[in-house]
Structure 1
């Protein structure tokens, strides 16, 4: 039995809406040791309020006691243990639809889920393109077609992605465009040389409309994933926050350079890159192999450190996922600020909690908070402010 079915049956049971066939299926589920972990997680996510008069089935009582009456503080949270992210997406949609279900635990504090009217939707595709003359084009709602003409290229929007179609008509001047995403948006771009770029929320990339001469240079802030077209005779380089430079011949890599993160992290998936730093003590440049990550302190006090990377985690955002393995609550909240365009405020410091698991990003803020309730951290929402109590 898959986890989606377990979640469905548990919800129907708590509502006392199981059909006769479903009742028999649920009895068998309760007796199956292999499904106890998923069953417990479903009850913890969907357990109802006291006035729902939850049936106290003898076979179910131990699980209900564990889910509803635990006194132990949780310090390490299995966010979605052993569940596939595809199943998690379905479960969280159901959870978001049942936002009024919250867990009341003995001697602990439940998460306060905001009313449905204040729910905040997930981020989506969208960006602003700034042309060479300073004019701006909002890409969120435009249809397919040519959206601008720049020196030597037509700017084409097709199926949520911007590309540059060279016209050959250039006056020799190099002009630049900038694509930027606000919080709550991300977008894709094909650069004039065919290089693919995925731009995460609250990020930007500046690039020429036609790559001139013997080099290809772009500048980024925030986070971006690159699939660079190979051309050894015309090297490709990325300037990052005026603090680091990444030089490549042809490769797949991710760069995370948000100012509120501890370091600029360059993660290599394929090929080779040389990462160099300006005005830093310690190693000034390193060459990465696939599966490695270069870390450059945002504080500007150390050189470059190289470590083995979790590449799945590094590009999870591009693949539509939150990846929480080993993440602290503060790290998760920074991701949420960017994706949901919210402000996170801590009333009593940052709880020391570590997470595991992953989930899709296409759920509302309330849907995510329903799962975060297992931390026993209290939240409340005021407008676009999420307050951690």
Structure 2
């Protein structure tokens, strides 16, 4: 066995037992992702998976599908059967002994994370030492995750459901072809037209996300429960669109035609060419504009404005506290915003780092197209962790149930129990 493989196996042992330091965890993931190992490492992990003995029947049900083909995730071998996406695990993952409800499964849990078979790691901050679960509830909750899809409303008010359409021309809008290609919508001018501007609106219902390219080449990504209204061609001295929900922009640079975004009629953003994300759901606490690249000017309804630098976030409260109007008019700027967390939705992830139960449930509600209520108020619980968004609702509920959070399901309504 090569010395490097021996080192990896030593790190695996420490990781699985919960004794690895954060630096050792970082090093282990780096080595595995880089492929710096041989078949001995894969065989070693497979051996532990084969000898894994879950303590209960629900343990078997939860891990069975994730254990199959797990080792091939490292080697990239053909023939594995899994529908789960691979996650590029970030550095700085905390020591495993903090992963409260994954420690119980030892090698199975550790190997699944290492092999990226489950595409998830999640834990909860809790003062409780023991967890209860209701596996039957989650196993019988057959609600799939969200997917790519949207509804396009054309200038004449007719609507086109984009979920199942094949590649090709979707519509012709006053000299501009609307083209669907590989699940993305784009606009291609086919003739010069000086007629009055016409507008299209793209809407993503709950349980859907979509991507389009505007007529000027600007890239737009819509999260679930969002919309954007835009002209089928840009003319004049500005490019203006209107959005709701959550939308990420990569704006094509044009110094002679600034790009302006109206957000829920409650805020405005002005740019020349930049990358930024806007979260403006009505049930969130604020309109959050986060700048990744370039520069933007954010304006609130009182015409107060701030100019953001990359890495900053502007927050405009949706429901200000009863304070002076002067205080309410201030746009709060957050330096060093958590870009990974903010952009997780676009990258196919849930990022629950520091999130309250209410925040987590709002994301779940939008992605799985369900209604969530609380039987006796919202428990004061906060989370840490990440997981891919391609898992069925039942899998997510199993993870939460093992953290002493309980539910009742009534069709597409989820009731959080005390």
Could you tell me the TM-score, scaled by structure 2's length? 0.71
- CA gap of 1:84–1:279, structure 2 versus 1, over 3 A, is farther
1:238 and 2:261 aligned? yes
Partner SS for 1:275: strand
Q: Which 5+ residue runs of structure 2 have no aligned equivalent?
A: 1-8, 17-31, 33-41, 61-93, 123-127, 322-327
1:298 and 2:318 aligned? yes
Matches of 1:187 and 1:123, distance apart in 2 = 11
Partner SS for 2:160: strand
Structure 1 residue 112: Cα displacement = 4.8
Q: Which 5+ residue runs of structure 1 have no aligned equivalent?
A: 18-33, 48-59, 61-79, 96-104
Q: Which residue of 2 aligns with 1:339?
A: 367
Matches of 1:226 and 1:36, distance apart in 2 = 36
- CA gap of 1:230–1:136, structure 2 versus 1, over 3 A, is same
1:247 to 248, 252, 270: 270
Aligned-residue Cα RMSD (Å) equals 3.2
1:155 and 2:207 aligned? no
Q: Which residue of 2 aligns with 1:360?
A: 388
Q: Which residue of 1 aligns with 2:97?
A: 37
Could you tell me the TM-score, scaled by structure 1's length? 0.76
Matches of 2:261 and 2:99, distance apart in 1 = 48
Q: Which residue of 1 aligns with 2:53?
A: 14
| Residue-pair matches, total | 327
Matches of 1:315 and 1:275, distance apart in 2 = 19
1:179 and 2:179 aligned? no
Superposed counterparts of 1:133-282, under 5 Å:
133-279=156-302
1:307 and 2:334 aligned? yes
- CA gap of 1:320–1:115, structure 2 versus 1, over 3 A, is closer
Matches of 2:95 and 2:265, distance apart in 1 = 52
Q: Which residue of 1 aligns with 2:307?
A: 287
For CA contacts below 8 A with separation 6 or more, give which structure has more relative contact order.
1
Matches of 2:285 and 2:202, distance apart in 1 = 25
Contact 1:10 1:42 in 2 (8 A): no
Contact 2:120 2:387 in 1 (8 A): no
Contact 2:208 2:224 in 1 (8 A): yes
Compare 376-385 and 213-222 and name the one that shifted more: 376-385
- CA gap of 1:296–1:107, structure 2 versus 1, over 3 A, is closer
